[in-house]
Amino acid sequence: MRSLLFLLASSVLFLLGCADRPEVSPSAYGTILDALPVIKEAEEPFPFPPEGDNDHQNCDFSNDMDFM
């Protein structure tokens, strides 16, 4: 009987802490997008590899740089 009462009390306390509600109001987050915007430039074809000064054939890396 005691274990049943303990189980009932602990489950009530546990479920009270699991309410699905935000800590702050949604207006505190700023503008919330429901969907991603449609970008017309993203649908157009683009040259690959990108043209310009991007020479990726002979890359030089410095040992002084921290990559992590």
40-43 contacts, C-beta under 8 A, 24 or more apart: none
Asked if residues 49 and 56 have their Cβ atoms less than 8 Å apart, the reply is yes
Residue 10 — φ and ψ, nearest 5°?
-70, -35
What proportion of the chain, given as a percentage, has pLDDT over 70? Answer: 71
DSSP 8-state code for residue 49: S
Asked if residues 22 and 29 have their Cβ atoms less than 8 Å apart, the reply is no
Interval 17-50: pLDDT, tens: 666 676 788 788 888 778 888 888 888 888 776 6
Residue spans of the domains in the chain: they are 29-54
**Scanning the structure block, which residue is given the tokens 């509600």?**
21
Predicted TM-score (pTM) of the model is 0.27
